[in-house]
Structure 1
């Protein structure tokens, strides 16, 4: 570790193989907390390269609980978190809209850390029991097109750094890795980032990994398309900045996306959206994220057609039917 730290202090970069080996040593508890904290601090100050990020990802995935969903070619819809906006569960809502439109979704998530309700919180509020049993997950995918994977059940290596991350109390490379270590290694991904500087890093990484993707950011600092301002989209095929009005949506006010003060309140908003009785701002925010997720799967489709597919899923009731079936299967 001493030699690695010296190199990093000198702004040297690690190869993919070196990064992979380093992460395996970290999660294998070969370093003490002081050494790990120093390492995390260096990367937070210096930044991380695509090669290093891919190497770290490989190490974490090598210790995961494996999930075989390759034949379904699913999409994951996830944000990096940390935007401090306490929005309702927009990405998780979008998952059910996309699944209701006939696509396969494999959502990887956890409890909220910077918001009242994370994906796992809202799932538990609906009575969902988490599992890492492959047969149960495949049953859920077969019968409703939607799988939810509670991260702690699939990434045991992350427990080894939980204490030092808590003691540091700041974002680290592990926050960057979270959206990249879905245990089923999905074929597609809609990834929301709160910081524009991360867009290029994730775009280059996902391109290298061969994943069909859309990386999105609202220019006022949301880690999803919030419609509160212009937003940027980067995909395998294009890069653009859009106004909500460019694709038929209206500007939302920040307070309209607030996720409530309790998990119960967040779950009520979640249900209202999928039951197509939420506010216009809440509904449109979910629809636009679902639309770019659909386009990540079918990049040949114009975004207007993807919006129509997402809207039809919601207005026909299929999104809510997907949620109800999912809850029934996963209780």
Structure 2
């Protein structure tokens, strides 16, 4: 096997198998590819459509090249691929904090914004969290407070070879789908959101190939990488053999127009406002943000505790906001990261 064989195969529209995909990513992560070779492979994969075997194979090698931390039993990750273009506040980041406030360990893997107005790293900085930490500190944080942030730029140093080349070619590539599958804490359960319904199923299948115990991928009807509050959401669950299910929007959860933000600062302000709520509100913006964070936290809680229904989990998420637990967990994360 050599890289020319890979180029010949993908440029003719032929799929790579798992091992070929691993070989290709190993060459990329080792800095062995010429920019022209990288460009033709990425473009050819995008044109023909990436398969779950290709996603899984490349993600497996990205995992091998990452800096790892010791995970915590039953820890999960809640994240999205980004790329929706909807400019919403950081719903998965907020829902991860709510989830951890209930006692579910969360190893939140994330990065700065690529196409949106606020990435998870950006909003956490605005919330006072120190994101650039030594891996041992990140690990300790997970084990001591059941919540940690794994900053992708720190934990994936070999991306230095691919990052500038991705920027040069300027199109969506398979890398858009790989990040969520490469959590350095080796979580076994994940919720992953993606704006592309077709790729939601492929990412779920790739997660299973990578031996996740259970993975649920979601894709909103309007292209959100979150569960939507005013439209239906497509759900693919490895437990249900990746069949397409529709998560129907609940009545009176609010309008998604209230979720829009222009900056990480605005996103942080809206999350803090939500975490300071003591009860339901008639204010339409507060209502929409509360319900969006809570319904996304509910799906993750259902993943962690399968015996609980989504509706039960939805109420639990709200209760952990109203009783101050979510705000306390955020303060714990802030205190831990800034004293380390």
May I ask how many residue pairs the two structures share in their alignment? 326
Residues 220 and 228 in structure 1, CA contact (< 8 A), matched pair in contact too: no
Tell me, in whole angstroms, the C-alpha distance in 2 between the residues paired with 1:230 and 1:167. 36
Unpaired runs of at least 5, structure 2: 279-284
Q: 2:328 is paired with a residue of what secondary structure?
A: helix
> Is 1:175 aligned with 2:176?
yes
- Secondary structure at the aligned position of 2:162 is classed as helix
Matched with 1:217 is 219
Q: How does 1:157-236 map to 2 (within 5 A)?
A: 157-211=158-212, 212-236=214-238
Residue of structure 2 in register with 1:244 after alignment = 249
| Larger displacement relative to structure 2 (186-195 or 250-259) | 250-259
Distance 1:134 1:162 in 2: 21
CA distance in 2, matches of 1:178, 1:270: 24
Aligned residue for 2:139?
138
Task: Identify the residue that residue 298 of structure 2 maps to in structure 1.
Answer: 291
Shift of residue 271 of structure 1? Answer: 1.0
- Distance in 2 between residues matched to 1:305 and 1:27, nearest whole Å: 44
Separation in structure 2 between the aligned mates of residue 180 and residue 216 of structure 1, nearest angstrom: 14
Match of 2:12 in 1: 10
Tell me, what secondary structure is at the counterpart of 2:239?
A: coil
- More deviation, 226-235/152-161: 226-235
- Of residues 221-230 and 295-304 in structure 1, the stretch that sits farther from structure 2 once superposed is 295-304
1:233 match: secondary structure: strand
TM-score (norm 2): 0.91
Give the secondary-structure state (helix, strand or coil) at the position aligned to 1:183: coil
Tell me the C-alpha RMSD between the 2 structures.
1.6
Could you tell me how far apart the structure 2 residues matched to 1:276 and 1:142 are? 28
1:321 to 2:328 alignment = yes
* CA offset digits 1:134-160 (Å, max 9, x no partner): 432233223321010110100011111
CA–CA distance in 2 between the matches of 1:12 and 1:262?
Answer: 41
Residue number among 42, 47, 69 corresponding to 1:40 in the alignment? 42
How far does residue 55 in structure 1 lie from its aligned partner after superposition? 1.2
In structure 1, distance between residues paired with 2:163 and 2:110: 16
In structure 1, runs of 5+ residues without a counterpart are: none
